Structure 1
Amino acid sequence: MTEPAAVVDHAAHTPYTRPGRFAPLLAALPTDPPALSEVARNVIVHYRSADRQLPQETDDDIDLRWLEDILATDQRRHGTPLAEHRAPEQRLQGCCRDHTLLCVAALREHGLPARSRLGFAGYFQPGEHADHVVAEVWLEGRWRRFDPEIDAPREALPQPMDMPTAQLGSTGFVTAAQAWVGYRRGEVDPMDYGVAGVAELRGVRFLLEEVIQEVAHRFGDELLLWDSWGRMDAPGTPVTEDDERWTDEIAALLLAADAGDLDAERRLLERYRSDPGLHPGDTIVQASPRGRPPVQVRLRD
């Protein structure tokens, strides 16, 4: 298989996708996106599911950041192969990041380059561009993007298992860098981009912080969506002109790297490693979608 041109090895596990003693569970999974996504949805149920009441005693599942801990929790409850049916109320509570993390980990376990991508999906609610995480796998000489949460084609997303690169304003998935550049060019309203149903988690600050998250995930720090570090700040904190210029530089490097510019990707990786506004370091602040007070968390490895 021809490897992708990249400055990091996307087939290698990161501390977040490393399965530890549960590697055989991943090795038993399929690698084709539809079948693998079905397994991810079987193991993890979205914590904001509107069609069912999830048990309060599993609320803390959403803060499981390491795949090894996710698999350990699943196996304590079930002790069966990941493809064996779990009732929705007995699945781990998680979100798009967790569905994607499981898929990316399984693909890497099979030696396939894979990564998570952060951005905004326009296919959940008309007029909404909801923050979202999807997976990419290197297959047949190209990055194939797919959404593990989607179980069937829909009008706004006809090909969920092979998603084309979307344009701003479409109902597809656009990266955080695309959305930021669109805002800076006056092509999008930043208030249309954020967490669905949460007014304070949208707008310019949210776009800036999604760009930071996108870089982290690209280079193997697949953090929780409610983690913050570096130039991230409390919702509603004003974004300065310096913040905007800084984010312009990062977003431009991301877009150039996506277009195949390896020099831009190298410069982005160097910037990620050296810039304290971009790199998470040893300690991050973990907020909570449950409304709990933020806490400091020391990252392992």
Structure 2
Amino acid sequence: MDFKIYTRQSIITNPRQFIDKYEDLPASPKELLKIVQGLVIHGDQGKLYNVTFSKRQMDEELLRTVPQMLEKLLQIDQSSLSETRPANLRLILMCMYYSLLFLSFLRYKGIPARLRVGFANYFESELMYEDHWLIEYYDREKQHWVRLDAQLADIKKEHFGVTFDTEDMPADAGYLLGGQAWTLCRLGEHHPEDFGYNKNWKGWHSVKGNLLHDFNSLLGMELLPWDLWTELSTKKYNNLSRQEKDILDEMAMITTNANITEKELLAFQKSLPKSFMEAIHSKLKMLGIDVQYETLSPDMLEK
């Protein structure tokens, strides 16, 4: 299997001017995970660490890229990234940011890794399945993809009563990719209202949104949960055409294939309406993120 797509840094994970801060990082995924867990704290879980957060600190969730995260971390404290910080000196961020930073570390070490977007049922949630973002990395020795929940440090596992191995999650751990949730809802085996972030953000738009986010992440565009920039993202399920539903059904099938290749991803991307990628690229450029050379392009199929 060709892993280049999963070892090169994306426009979001590339540390850029902070790459020298990575020089003393360990090589083991498990050691890298512990470092990430010592740099980030979830905004909903301050009580577990006996800390409270100011509004300014909570605004850190508006960060978009790994360089922005690293800049903020170093503003708070100049210590080496490898040093575990007190909870009050960490970045206050949500689950996807644990995964983004971990993803950047893994790729720096040449370990194939990818962000996965879906839903988990092992939290104290208003919904059966809560929006949740994880990491998969490829274990070359065991020759399989390892799914890992970077947010679940020991204190959180105890709090939520999680007993499965969060550093090599089994298939029955209670996690569904966006594509799996989409397919289950399409088949009538789950209700779309079972999936979402909370009681105000749930249903088909959440299921469809995470399917699209998972696909984009595999292409190296790890967008924020609320980055719904395409017509497919914003259109209500009942307004989708038969062709659009077929596209999303195929996207679900592709993204749930653990061994999907770069060529297959690009071929499917090429079949999408041209406006899909144009809308994402345009918005990223407006946000000051250069997409010209670092995102995958269907033109690469011709090379």
Per-residue deviation, 1:138: 1.2
Larger % of helix: which? Answer: 2
Q: Sequence identity of aligned pairs in percent?
A: 23
Task: Report the TM-score, using the length of structure 1 for normalisation.
Answer: 0.82
Aligned residue identity for 2:226: W
2:93 is aligned with 1:97: no
SS of residue paired to 1:280: helix
Aligned to 1:17: 13
Give CA deviations for 1:69-125 in whole Å, capped at 9, x if unaligned: 111111121111112232222211211111011111011111111111001111113
Separation of aligned partners in 2, 1:145 and 1:114: 10
Aligned residue identity for 2:224: L
Moved >4 Å (runs of 4+): 153-157, 259-264
2:228 is aligned with 1:228: yes
Aligned residue identity for 2:193: M
Per-residue deviation, 1:263: 6.3
Separation of aligned partners in 1, 2:83 and 2:68: 19
Kindly indicate whether the alpha-carbon contact (under 8 Å) linking 1:39 and 1:83 is maintained by their aligned counterparts in 2: yes
Kindly indicate whether the alpha-carbon contact (under 8 Å) linking 2:120 and 2:132 is maintained by their aligned counterparts in 1: yes
Per-residue deviation, 1:262: 6.9
Separation of aligned partners in 1, 2:116 and 2:98: 12
Q: 1:272 to 1:150 in 2, by over 3 A?
A: farther
Deviates more, 1:137-146 or 1:212-221: 137-146
Unpaired runs of 5+ residues, structure 2, are 292-303
Per-residue deviation, 1:238: 5.1
Q: 1:26 to 1:212 in 2, by over 3 A?
A: same
Aligned residue identity for 1:191: E
Aligned residue identity for 1:92: L
Separation of aligned partners in 2, 1:262 and 1:16: 18
Separation of aligned partners in 2, 1:254 and 1:275: 21
Of residues 172, 181, 184, the one that matches 1:182 is: 184
Alignment of 1:250-269 (within 5 A): 250-255=251-256, 257-260=257-260, 264-269=264-269
Deviates more, 1:50-59 or 1:221-230: 50-59
Q: 1:186 to 1:229 in 2, by over 3 A?
A: same
Per-residue deviation, 1:48: 2.2
SS of residue paired to 1:134: strand
Alignment of 1:56-135 (within 5 A): 56-125=55-124, 128-135=128-135
Per-residue deviation, 1:145: 1.1
Aligned to 1:151: 153
Deviates more, 1:154-163 or 1:274-283: 274-283
Per-residue deviation, 1:33: 3.3
Separation of aligned partners in 2, 1:18 and 1:221: 12
Q: 1:251 to 1:300 in 2, by over 3 A?
A: same
**Alignment length, in residue pairs?**
278
Q: 1:93 to 1:12 in 2, by over 3 A?
A: same
Kindly indicate whether the alpha-carbon contact (under 8 Å) linking 1:282 and 1:299 is maintained by their aligned counterparts in 2: no
Kindly indicate whether the alpha-carbon contact (under 8 Å) linking 1:31 and 1:106 is maintained by their aligned counterparts in 2: no
SS of residue paired to 2:169: coil
SS of residue paired to 2:38: helix
| RMSD of equivalent CA atoms | 2.6
SS of residue paired to 2:147: strand
Aligned to 1:28: 24
Per-residue deviation, 1:35: 2.4
Aligned residue identity for 2:64: R
Deviates more, 1:242-251 or 1:200-209: 242-251
Q: 1:89 to 1:108 in 2, by over 3 A?
A: same
Q: 1:142 to 1:272 in 2, by over 3 A?
A: farther
Unpaired runs of 5+ residues, structure 1, are 286-295
Q: 1:239 to 1:258 in 2, by over 3 A?
A: farther
